[in-house]
Structure 1
C-alpha cells in the first residue's frame, strides 16, 4: 500500500491530540490524527469536566492559566461553547489539617495572580446554606469553570477537520520508527503514514509508543468512577470538591448532579474496559449526602468511567523526546488533562512550528524518568489498588 505522507501525525484522538491538530492546522501544517477507537471515547470524554485552577502543581500554573484563557474563548475558537460555564470552584476542608492544606494551595494560586476567596464556617453557612456543617473552611476561585467533556473533543476535532486535518478512526498504530526521511508508522489495518513530526498523545497507551523509540515512563492505567443523578431542583452553582478527594460534584442547569467517586479503580487497557464496582456508587452517594443533605433522596441513573494514564508523581509528560528528534510526547495527565488540554495543544504546535514555546514545560520532561521518581501522596491516596498492581 502507498505511504500517506504528511507534515505531522498525531497518535491519539483524545482532547490533547485534537487540540494539537487544531492549532497545527491553524499554522498551515498538514496533519493526520490517528485514533485506535473513536475520537474522545476514553478519559477525554468520560471525565468530570472540571476546569479547576486552584490546587494545581505549582509548576503547572503558567500552562494552566494559558489554557484557561483558551477555554474562555472556546466558542470563538471552534464555533461551539460545549456548555462552558464559569461557575467557580469551591474547595472545602473538613478539619484544621485540611484547612492548612487549602491555605497552602491558595497561597500558590495567589502567587500566580489567581483571585481566591477565603471562607470560614460562618461564611459557608451564609453563602451556601445547602452545605452541611461538615465543612469548616473553604476557598473559592471565581475564574474556575466547567464544560461538557462528551461534547468538547468531537467539537475540537470537527473544527480541526474544517481546517484540513485528516482524522482516521478505528486505526491502531502497530509500529513507528524514525528513518532518514522522517517517521514511518504502520497500522493494524495495513495503512502506512510518513511524516516529519510525530506527536504521541495516546493516553493510557502512550507508553507503548514511547517504547518504540527507546523511551519509557511508568504509566499506570486507572479509571475514575463518575456518576450522574436524576434531575433535581437546581440550587448548586459552583463546582465543589473536598480537599481529601472523597467527593467532587457539580449540578448542571438541567438539574442533574454529576459526581466523581474516589479512590480510583482498576482499568483494563487490553480489553478496553473500566468497570465501576457497585460499592463505589454507594460510597460516592454517602459522601455526597454527608456534604449536601438535601440530595439524600436523589437516585443515581448512570455510572461510567474511562481509561486514564497516571504517573507516580502525578505530573504529565509534555515535550520533546530525549531519544528522537521530531518526536513529542503528551501523556500521563493524571486526571488533570481536561483543563490544560488546549494549552498543551497550543504549546506543542509552537514547538513544532517555531522550535520553542513561551510556556515553561521543563517540569514535564520525560527525562525525569531516567532516574527514580518518588510517588506523590495523591498517587498513594487516590488509588485503592495494592502497590504490587501498579
Structure 2
C-alpha cells in the first residue's frame, strides 16, 4: 500500500468538451494542466485512480540539479525557480525547502566523473563543488564510512511528494481546471488525421489537443494511437521512518542508502545502488535500445522474471471505446517493495550513521518508474497525429523537473515560446537517426 496522499476532490460536473484534455493525474500532468489554465485554456484532467497515487507520491522527494544529465539542466534550473515560489503560488504547503543535496564519492573514478560534470554544469550557472572527506564529515556528523569526498550542490532542495501534486491540483482547480478522478480514458479518437475526442468510461469529451502524461501507462495509451515509444518500468523501493533527531540537513546519497528529512520529523530512505527490473514482453521488445544503458547500470539492476511477464502478456492491451479497459481493472499500480532491500537499507543506515541506531520504520512502499533508453523524458508533440502530445519517460527525475516540464508541455500545446529549448526532449529522436544514449554522472 502506498503512502497517504493529501486528498483532492473531483470537479462536480462531467465535461463534454475542452480545448485540451490531459491524461494522467501525476505531478507532470498536473503541472501541465496548471500551466494551461493559468493561460486561460479550457482544460480537463482525467485520472483513472486518484491524484498522485502512483509514482508521483512514491518518489524520494528530491529536487536536484546535482549530477543530472546535461541536457536536462536548463529544465531543472527553470523548475527550481518555480519550486521556490510554489508554496506562495498554490497557497499551500508543498514541502519545498532548499537544503542542498550530497552524493558521497567512494572511488577516484567517481570523483573524476563528478569533476567533469561540474565543469559542464558551470555553463548553466550551477555552483556545485567537491567536498573533501573532512568537509563531508562536517556536513554529516558521525558518518562512519570511508568516502573520498562528495559532490554537493547547496542550491538544491526537497519537497513532499504526498503534498506537492495535490497542492498544485487544488490551485489548478481554483484557476478553472475540471478534474475527473476515477475516470479512465479508454481511447483517444481522431478525425481527418488529428485528435478529435477521448472516450472515457463515463462518456466522450471533445477536444482539440490531448496530452498523454500517464507515467508507466503512457506506452500503452500511445500504442492505442498506433504510436510506439520504447518505455520500460523500474521498481523503486522506499521507506519512511518515525520522527528521529539527526543532524543531517541536506538530502544525502551514500550509495547503498539515501535519505532526506521529512516535514513530519521522519526520514524518507531509499537506495541509490539497487533497483528491480521485472522482465516483461516489452523488455524483450526493447532489449536493443536499452542494452547500452543496461551494460552501464547492470551492477545496480536486479532482473526478475515472475508473474508480471504473464500478466502483461495476457492482459495489458490498449483500450477500446466500447469495452472495459485495463485502466479500469488496475486503478493504481501498487507493487510490493523489495523486502530484502528494505532490510539491507536499514542495516546500512545504522552502520554509516549511528544517530539512526534507534530508527523505527513507519511504512514502506514501491513504485514503478517510467524510463526511456537515454533516461531523459519525451516532452513533445507527435508529428504524425496533430493535436497529440506526450510527456513521459522521466526516468526517476520527474518530481524535481515537473513544474518546468509542465510549463514546457503547455507552451508546446499552445504554440508559445517554450520555457527552454525542447529539442532534447522531442519524440522524433527515436526515429530520426540520432544516437540515443544515457549520460552517467553519479
TM-score relative to the length of structure 1: 0.90
Question: Counterparts of 2:235 and 2:168 in 1: how far apart (Å)?
Answer: 24
Which of the numbers 87, 107, 110 marks the counterpart of 2:119?
Answer: 107
Contact 1:7 1:29 in 2 (8 A): yes
Match of 2:197 in 1: 184
Mapping for residues 56-205 of structure 1, pairs under 5 Å: 56-180=68-192, 182-187=195-200, 189-205=201-217
Contact 2:18 2:42 in 1 (8 A): yes
TM-score relative to the length of structure 2: 0.80
Contact 2:196 2:207 in 1 (8 A): yes
2:326 aligned with 1:265: no
Alpha-carbon distance, 1:277 to partner: 2.4
Consecutive unaligned residues in structure 1, runs of 5 or more:
382-390
Alpha-carbon distance, 1:128 to partner: 2.8
Question: Counterparts of 1:374 and 1:297 in 2: how far apart (Å)?
Answer: 46
Taking a change above 3 Å as real, the CA distance of residues 235 and 252 of structure 1, as seen in their structure-2 partners, is farther
Contact 1:213 1:323 in 2 (8 A): no
Task: Find runs of 4+ consecutive structure 1 residues off by over 4 angstroms.
Answer: 266-271, 371-375
Considering only aligned residues, what root-mean-square deviation do their CA atoms show, in Å?
A: 2.3
How many pairs are equivalent? Answer: 376
2:222 aligned with 1:210: yes
> 1:139 is paired with a residue of what secondary structure?
strand
Alpha-carbon distance, 1:375 to partner: 6.0
Taking a change above 3 Å as real, the CA distance of residues 218 and 144 of structure 1, as seen in their structure-2 partners, is same
Which of the numbers 54, 67, 78 marks the counterpart of 1:42?
Answer: 54
Taking a change above 3 Å as real, the CA distance of residues 129 and 283 of structure 1, as seen in their structure-2 partners, is same
Match of 1:384 in 2: none
> 1:303 is paired with a residue of what secondary structure?
strand
Taking a change above 3 Å as real, the CA distance of residues 285 and 373 of structure 1, as seen in their structure-2 partners, is farther
Match of 2:32 in 1: 20
Choose 106-115 or 20-29, whichever is displaced more. Answer: 106-115
Contact 2:375 2:438 in 1 (8 A): yes
Choose 227-236 or 30-39, whichever is displaced more. Answer: 227-236
Alpha-carbon distance, 1:131 to partner: 1.7
> 1:279 is paired with a residue of what secondary structure?
helix
> 1:4 is paired with a residue of what secondary structure?
coil
1:219-272, CA deviations, whole angstroms, 9 ceiling, x for partnerless residues? 112221011122211311000024xx4322112354312111342225768653
Contact 1:266 1:274 in 2 (8 A): no
Contact 2:54 2:334 in 1 (8 A): no
Choose 368-377 or 139-148, whichever is displaced more. Answer: 368-377
Taking a change above 3 Å as real, the CA distance of residues 377 and 358 of structure 1, as seen in their structure-2 partners, is closer
> 1:334 is paired with a residue of what secondary structure?
coil
> 2:240 is paired with a residue of what secondary structure?
strand
Consecutive unaligned residues in structure 2, runs of 5 or more:
1-13, 279-307, 317-329
Question: Counterparts of 2:434 and 2:411 in 1: how far apart (Å)?
Answer: 30
Match of 1:29 in 2: 41
Match of 2:357 in 1: 296
Question: Counterparts of 1:177 and 1:377 in 2: how far apart (Å)?
Answer: 37
Match of 1:337 in 2: 398
Alpha-carbon distance, 1:62 to partner: 0.8
2:336 aligned with 1:326: no
Contact 2:102 2:151 in 1 (8 A): yes
Match of 2:346 in 1: 285
Contact 1:313 1:373 in 2 (8 A): no
Contact 1:234 1:253 in 2 (8 A): no
1:275-325, CA deviations, whole angstroms, 9 ceiling, x for partnerless residues? 112101112123323432332332222111222211122111111112112
Contact 2:141 2:248 in 1 (8 A): no
1:50-79, CA deviations, whole angstroms, 9 ceiling, x for partnerless residues? 001110110111111001000001022111
> 2:186 is paired with a residue of what secondary structure?
strand
Alpha-carbon distance, 1:358 to partner: 4.0
Taking a change above 3 Å as real, the CA distance of residues 127 and 235 of structure 1, as seen in their structure-2 partners, is closer
Question: Counterparts of 1:378 and 1:62 in 2: how far apart (Å)?
Answer: 18
Contact 2:379 2:408 in 1 (8 A): no
Match of 1:385 in 2: none
1:352-376, CA deviations, whole angstroms, 9 ceiling, x for partnerless residues? 2234414112111111222696664
Taking a change above 3 Å as real, the CA distance of residues 141 and 299 of structure 1, as seen in their structure-2 partners, is same
Choose 198-207 or 178-187, whichever is displaced more. Answer: 178-187
Choose 176-185 or 30-39, whichever is displaced more. Answer: 176-185
Choose 117-126 or 58-67, whichever is displaced more. Answer: 117-126
